[in-house]
Amino acid sequence: MKEQILHILRLGDRISGKELGRRLGISRSMVWKYIKALRGEGYLIDSYPGSGYLLVRATESLLPEEIRAGLKTSLFGRQIVYCRELSSTQDAAKVLAVQGAAEGTAVIAETQVAGRGRIGRVWASPPGGIYLSLILRPEIKPADALCLLLVAGVAVALAIEQLTGLKPRLKWPNDIIIAGRKAGGILAEMNAEIDRLNYIVIGIGVNVNTESFPDEIKGLATSLRIAGGEEVSRLKLVREILWQLELFYRIFQESGFETIRERWKGLSNTLGSWVSIMSGGQQQEGAALDIDHDGALIIKQADGIFTRVIAGELILGQAGSGPRESK
């Protein structure tokens, strides 16, 4: 009912409680109750004696009804579970996935108290960011999940570019980098049998209007607001991310990874650089040459040997630089 009231208020005219109630088949006191609830959620609704209610400003919160107003997708984000605070949207999404939640269901929180990054890292999740997990049920082999992680990276980078004009780059496998600092990250967690993927939860964290970061990551992190110098609408960005994700997910399902692989390479800040990777307890160094058809990073070590890396923590050197000389 709140969504219906908002729909009418968004038309922009003042409308009386009586008229609202008549159109929706509810009493004036019920209308008042819903208006009060909407104000509690952050909507600024003026009331004028005699002429009724006027929506002055929608809430800044990422409420499902706000996201859905103007959402272009047909599947992603059509079901949204929203909480002001969660331990991690990943955990909530996994519970929903086990309970049978439909593909495209999104879990969104304003803040997370135990946000997770890759490799067991903490993901700082203060208000002002986007913390979103999406449930997918692709018919792919578990080994192809890495491609999906890169697909999500392309979608998020293009969504940011589309909305802000900023030019994010992708650091393999999943970091969203702007002006050399990390502005977002993507985490893919799956539930699979040996040859069948049951579900995958794609977790997306973007530092949108964040103004300061914990000391440990201060020099490494940025936000869209810091990089672009102005506040960014989180609502519009969530809609754009869901839209680009749906678009690229479709392409991935219909045509495979190839075209998206080229897009990823075009957005990469990794290829052509000297990189050092900690993977499976082993340190590897080399020139990052390419990503292969499975999304793995191909590096050429100083001794000329080619290595294929499917996971790990990557440290980026200078483009075109080579190994440091050992003395």
Q: Contact between 175 and ligand BTN (CB under 6 A)?
A: yes
Site for ligand BTN in 21-80 (CB under 6 A): none
Residue in the structure block whose two tokens are 């000297």: 274
**Residue 309 CB, nearest approach to ligand BTN (Å):** 16
Among 164, 174, 210, 222, binds ligand BTN (CB under 6 A): 174
Which of 61, 105, 112, 268 lies at the binding interface for ligand BTN (CB under 6 A)? 112
The only residue of 43, 123, 199, 274 in contact with ligand BTN, by rule CB under 6 A: 123
The binder of ligand BTN chosen from 43, 65, 118, 181 (CB under 6 A): 118
Residues 6+ apart with CB under 8 A from 158: 244, 263, 267
Does the CA dihedral 157-160-161-167 come out positive or negative? negative
Q: Which residue is nearest to ligand BTN (CB)?
A: 185
CB nearer to ligand BTN: pick between 118 and 225: 118
Give the nearer residue to ligand BTN in terms of CB position, either 177 or 226.
Answer: 177
List all residues 6 or more positions away from 143 whose beta carbon is below 8 Å from its beta carbon. 294
What long-range pairs does 276-280 form, CB within 8 A, spacing at least 24?
276/314, 276/315, 276/317, 277/309, 277/312, 277/313, 277/314, 277/315, 278/312, 278/313, 279/309, 279/310, 279/311, 279/312, 279/313, 280/311, 280/312
Of 214-243, binders to ligand BTN (CB under 6 A) are none
The sheet carrying 273-279 orders its strands as 306-309, 297-300, 282-291, 273-279, 313-319
Closer by beta carbon to ligand BTN, 52 or else 173: 173
* φ, ψ for residue 215, nearest 5 deg: -50, -40
Give the range of 36-44, 85-93, 291-299, 308-316 binding ligand BTN by CB under 6 A: 85-93
What SS3 class is residue 16? coil
Q: Which is nearer to ligand BTN, 112 or 209 (CB)?
A: 112
116 binds ligand BTN (CB under 6 A): yes
Given candidates 21, 138, 205, 295, which one binds ligand BTN under the rule CB under 6 A? 205
Question: How far apart (Å, rounded) are the C-alpha atoms in residues 136 and 25?
Answer: 38
**Interacting span for ligand BTN (CB under 6 A) from 28-36, 95-103, 115-123, 253-261:** 115-123
From candidates 88, 164, 207, 209, binder to ligand BTN by CB under 6 A: 88
Subset of residues 130 to 149 that bind ligand BTN, contact rule: CB under 6 A: 131-133
C-alpha closest to that of 183 among 157, 162, 201: 157
Tokens of 100: 């049978």
Size of residue set near ligand BTN by CB under 6 A: 21
Q: Is 94 or 261 the residue whose CB approaches ligand BTN more closely?
A: 94
Check residue 90 for interaction with ligand BTN (CB under 6 A): yes
**Does residue 159 sit in helix, strand or coil?**
helix
What are the residues binding ligand BTN (CB under 6 A)? 88-90, 112, 115-118, 121, 123, 131-133, 174-175, 185-187, 203-205
